[in-house]
Amino acid sequence: MIFVARTKIPVSLAGIQAATTVPMIICHSVLQTFGYDLAITSITDGHKQGVGGLHPWGFGCDFQPAKWHAPPLDSVYFHPRDLADGKKIRDALKAALFLECDLVLERTHYHLEVDVKKKFS
Ligand SMILES: [Zn+2]
């Protein structure tokens, strides 16, 4: 399941680009093979232009591996660097994504960025 994390700054999809959504679905499928759900922790929210890579333009997304629990139970979130297979998941995510996508293992989450202007030779 893909779901929106309940964070201090509410996650907003205002301005999200269509090109960002397909990679998010792919990332979800990859996480499912490791037994996790995908919790979106940031899209365009909380990022000013020049900060947060391509987030302000709708081409960025942060997410964490998670276990979804319907309310009133709390969902469980995992910092990827705390997971024994955090780097293995990163490599699997990268292998499944488009060439225009950058996937970075950050301290508390995975950062996904889509650069549609990227040139390939
Ligand atoms: Zn990010």
pLDDT, one tens digit per residue, over 19-40 is: 999 999 999 999 999 999 999 9
Q: Are 59 and 114 in contact (CB under 8 A)?
A: yes
Q: Does residue 87 lie within any of the structural domains?
A: yes
Overall number of domains in the chain = 1
Q: Does residue 70 lie within any of the structural domains?
A: yes
**Mean pLDDT across 31-54:** 88
**Mean pLDDT across 33-56:** 87
Question: Considering the entire predicted model, what is its pTM?
Answer: 0.93
pLDDT at site 9: 86
How much of the chain exceeds pLDDT 70, in percent?
Answer: 95
Got the DSSP string for the chain? -EEE---SSPP--TT--HHHHHHHHHHHHHHHHTT-EEEEEESSTT--TTSSTTGGGT-EEEEEEEE---TTSPPEE--GGGSTTHHHHHHHHHHHS-TTEEEEE-SSSEEEEE-TT----
From the CA of 28, how far away is ligand 1's center (Å)?
A: 16
Name 91's Cβ contacts closer than 8 Å, sequence gap at least 6.
Answer: none
Q: Does residue 119 lie within any of the structural domains?
A: no
Q: Does residue 85 lie within any of the structural domains?
A: yes
Q: Does residue 48 lie within any of the structural domains?
A: yes
Range of the domain at 59: 2-114
From the CA of 53, how far away is ligand 1's center (Å)?
A: 7
Strand bridging mode 2-4 / 37-42: parallel
Q: Is the pLDDT of residue 49 over 70?
A: no
Q: Does residue 23 lie within any of the structural domains?
A: yes
Which of 47-51, 60-64, 80-84 comes out lowest in average pLDDT?
47-51
From the CA of 73, how far away is ligand 1's center (Å)?
A: 27
From the CA of 33, how far away is ligand 1's center (Å)?
A: 23
State pLDDT tens for residues 57-80. Answer: 999 999 999 999 998 889 999 999
From the CA of 89, how far away is ligand 1's center (Å)?
A: 17
What residues are neighbours of ligand 1 (ion), with CB under 5 Å? 62, 111
pLDDT at site 46: 75
From the CA of 40, how far away is ligand 1's center (Å)?
A: 11
Report the CATH number that the domain containing residue 81 is assigned in CATH: 3.30.1380.10
From the CA of 46, how far away is ligand 1's center (Å)?
A: 10
pLDDT at site 107: 92
Q: Does residue 121 lie within any of the structural domains?
A: no
